[in-house]
Amino acid sequence: MSNAPQSPTAAQPDTDYQASMRALQSAIAHFQGCNEAELRELADDMSQLGRMAEKLQSGRVDIAVFGEISTGKSALINALCGEQRAAVNVRGGWTKDVWHVPWESAGYCVPGFADSQVVLVDTPGLNEVDGAKRGEMAREAAARVDLVLFVVDSDLNDTEYRALVDLAATNKPLILVLNKTDLYRPDQLNDLLTVLNGPRYAGIIRPENIVLAQADPREVEYVIEAADGSTRSEYRKQPPQVEEVKARIIELLAADGKALIALNAAIFAADKSDRMAALRVRFREEEAARTIWSFAVTKSLAVALNPVGVVDVLGGVAVDAAMVVTLGRIYGISITTANAQSLAMSIGKSAGLVTLLEATVSWASSAFKSLTVGFGTVLTAVPQGAAAGFGSFIVGQAARFYFQHGASWGEQSPKAVVAQILENTDKRSVLEQLKTEILKKLSTNRHADETDKGWFGKK
């Protein structure tokens, strides 16, 4: 084996390949930090990442074939393979799913991969009925492949043109295959090629990537003359003519094959990582919002319905600490109950008059309950509960900000964060919702109803 150093040009594909493999492995590893709900939502994405890693390891090249109904997509695949591999039917919309067809006769192998193979991916027609679902399948297929064939049989209509523009935006090699050229006279074919090479397609498809094909030529009439001078007509099937398509594919792969599969894998890993991160943020934000509201209501009710003075306020403090611990768990940060209580109290101090109002109402109401031996619960429930719940709501929002920033206040102070939260919070709306929850609970609370009767007399 030669020990001569590789040139930078020769080493680059291997460097790209190794970087892409690391990107895929890193993306797969990130999934391990997801909770059960996130894993359920991302199961298909993780499966796709696994298949992409296998594809990269084996050096497999995937080529997607796109086009409208009956442009000859499946016929082109069969012609390239030299046998009937993809389903073809005269009815429009025959291709219902994405089909993967090994192209053994391609004659190409990615350098360094003895088991490398080329796979042709047949996709549903762009304009099929119920095309939304199949269109999504086609887009997903395009995200995974390394090269795209776009099959047309005439100048592009609006649907085809939009699809071509979208595919060009993926920055993957794109070959426009003008199929069924046997249906045109030479002058008509020249006019069509002039249009396809014109300004409408400039910057979308490169002229050298426009190729001609006859994937399923029409039958040609032959007149056969017998020895006796009589004649008869016979229609014969013509062999497919797809050499130009195959030649251009092999040229592109020979020039950039390994770099193409590496780049595609890296882009795919980045897209999946972004989706996972966005989903995890959304899931955590939704769960955090539900948690904050749930604890705010719980604290409202716990404080409002507890007939024992002092104990009601202390119970509310415990609720806030439990809420902070729960929020920390949602964001993957462990915090002790003691530290959670300190954090909640620190936030409360930063809230200033808001928590002062809560404290004043809570302790005054608590004292009233003590003086009235618990019967004051009915009179104090709504104002005390709403004030306590609102204070808990603000503590929860501030704690969420703290955990969102990795258990840090970032560049701001707790007081500035709380002030911003208060400014963005519709206090009246929150209080009204809390009061509604309290009144709803009171109306269904048998013990509160009995207390009401004892204090004010029978209704």
Least confident window among 36-40, 138-142, 190-194: 138-142
Confidence of residue 171 (pLDDT cuts 50, 70, 90): confident
pLDDT of 147 over the 90 cut? yes
pLDDT for res 411: 82
Mean pLDDT of the residues in the chain? 79
Average pLDDT over residues 438-444: 74
Report pLDDT for 456.
33
The amino acid occupying position 233 is S
What confidence category does residue 193 fall into, taking pLDDT thresholds of 50, 70 and 90?
Answer: very high
**Per-residue confidence (pLDDT) for residue 459, from 0 to 100:** 38
**Least confident interval from 105-119, 151-165, 367-381, 441-455:** 367-381
* Both structure tokens of 92: 């429009």
Cα 65 to chain centroid, rounded: 24
Per-residue pLDDT, 177: 98
pLDDT of residue 289: 92
State residue 139 phi and psi, 5-degree precision: -65, -40
Q: What is the mean pLDDT of residues 31-56?
A: 82
d(CA 401, CA 324): 11
The HSE-up count of residue 247 (CA atoms within 13 Å, CB side) is 9
- pLDDT above 70 (res 161): yes
Residue 35 vs residue 54, higher pLDDT: 54
Torsion sign (Cα): 415, 419, 425, 430: positive
Mean pLDDT of 150-176: 90
User: What does each C-alpha distance from 373 to 69, 178, 366 come to in angstroms?
Assistant: 81, 90, 10
Mean pLDDT over 343-354 rounds to: 74
Which tens digit of pLDDT belongs to each residue from 202-239? 999 999 999 999 999 988 777 787 788 888 888 888 89
What is the model's pLDDT at position 419? 86
pLDDT value at 114 more than 70:
yes
- Single out the residue of 28, 11, 6, 9 nearest to residue 265, CA to CA: 28
Dihedral sign for Cα 204, 157, 216, 117, please: positive
The answer, yes or no, to whether residue 392 has pLDDT greater than 70, is: yes
254-269 per-position pLDDT tens digit: 888 888 888 888 888 8
3-state SS of the chain is CCCCCCCHHHHHHHHHHHHHHHHHHHHHHHHHHCCHHHHHHCHHHHHHHHHHHHHHHHCCEEEEEEECCCCCHHHHHHHHHCCCCCCCCCCCCCCCCCEEEECHHHCCCCCCCCCCCEEEEECCCCCCCCHHHHHHHHHHHHHHCCEEEEEECCCCCHHHHHHHHHHHCCCCCEEEEECCHHHCCHHHHHHHHHHHCCHHHCCCCCHHHEEECECCCCCEEEEEECCCCCEEEEEECCCCECHHHHHHHHHHHHHHHHHHHHHHHHHHHHHHHHHHHHHHHHHHHHHHHHHHHHHHHHHHHHHHHCCCCCHHHHHHHHHHHHHHHHHHHHCCCCCCHHHHHHHHHHHHHHCCHHHHHHHHHHHHHHHHHHHCCCCCHHHHHHHHHHHHHHHHHHHHHHHHHHHHCCCCCCCCCHHHHHHHHHHHCCHHHHHHHHHHHHHHHHHHCHHHHHHHHHHHCCC
- Per-residue pLDDT, averaged over 193-206, amounts to 94
First to last CA, the chain: 101
Q: What was the pLDDT predicted at 198?
A: 94
Q: In the numeric block, which tokens belong to residue 267?
A: 């882009």
The pLDDT of residue 282: 84
Q: How confident is the model at residue 221, as a pLDDT?
A: 77
Within its chain, how far is the Cα of 290 from the centroid? Answer: 23
Strand partners, 102: 119
CB 149 within 8 A of CB 66: yes
**What's the confidence (pLDDT) of residue 238?**
86
Higher-confidence residue of 426 and 96: namely 426
- Tell me how far apart the alpha carbons of residues 160 and 156 are, in angstroms, rounded to a whole number: 5
Closest to 118 (Cα-Cα) out of 132, 134, 101: 101
Provide the pLDDT for residue 371.
41
Between 29 and 311, where is the model more confident? 29
Output phi, psi for 155, to 5 deg.
-65, 150
Non-local (6+) Cβ contacts of 79 within 8 A are 213, 215, 216, 240, 242
